[in-house]
Amino acid sequence: MSDFRQDFLSFALARDVLRFGHFVTKAGRESPYFFNAGLFNDGASLRALGGYYARALLASGVACDQLFGPAYKGIPLVAGTACALAEGGRNLPFSFNRKEAKDHGEGGVVVGAPLAGRVMIVDDVITAGTSVRESVELIRAHGAQPAGVLVALDRMERGRGDASAVQEIEALYGMPVVAIATLDDVMRFLADRPELTAHATAVAAYRARYGTRAPEPVAAR
């Protein structure tokens, strides 16, 4: 059986979503790799991406009753994930939010299925964690329970302190963050591909300088 995480990284590399070279992050750090999920920007990419999200969710074993996509990047992601899960026999309701409340028609800020039960938040990556915090508040305000966060890549990178944004979210809300792939997966990906080994040393050095420990499972409350 193939490792879907490594398959995902091959897919991301082929779509130019995952790049290796010299980049500067928003935090001003010089990074030897770059990941831009916004470049999954056609129908075939979204269909495949939804499949990887679905596989990561199922592999995690985290129980949920519904999916939620934070506006705006989370909207196509949650729809693609819901479609992929339905194709595999698990039909979950999904919803997303508006940036501004609508005062006519159905009104409110939530579009789609009413928020209820255990809700999995689907997003691209976690940087500052702002969209996750807003999503958690919205879900709880509707009487539902956030079950966790599902993202494409965990950079496993420290913020201003010793913890990463992912670890801060897990500690703050006591819920897991599930990633299709992590920086450790990226390092294994490089090690297995001779044509990319020139980048392995730089990524390892970046990991040593800015990285956090490997993620540990967090039980949902």
- The β-bridge partners of 211 are 157
Catalytic residue list contains 104? yes
Preceding peptide of 33 cis, ω within 30°: no
DSSP 8-state symbol, 92: -
Residues paired with residue 67 on neighbouring β-strands, in sequence order: 94, 120
Residues 213 and 184: their CA atoms lie apart, in Å, by: 10
Per annotation, catalytic residue among 73, 102, 142, 199 = 102
Run of H or E residues at 201: helix 197-210
CA distance 112 to 146: 17
Backbone angle region of 21, left / alpha / beta, with phi > 0 → left and psi within -120 to 50 → alpha: left
Q: Which of 73, 99, 104, 142 is catalytic?
A: 104
* CB contact at 8 A, 32 and 22: yes
Q: Which residues are catalytic?
A: 102, 104
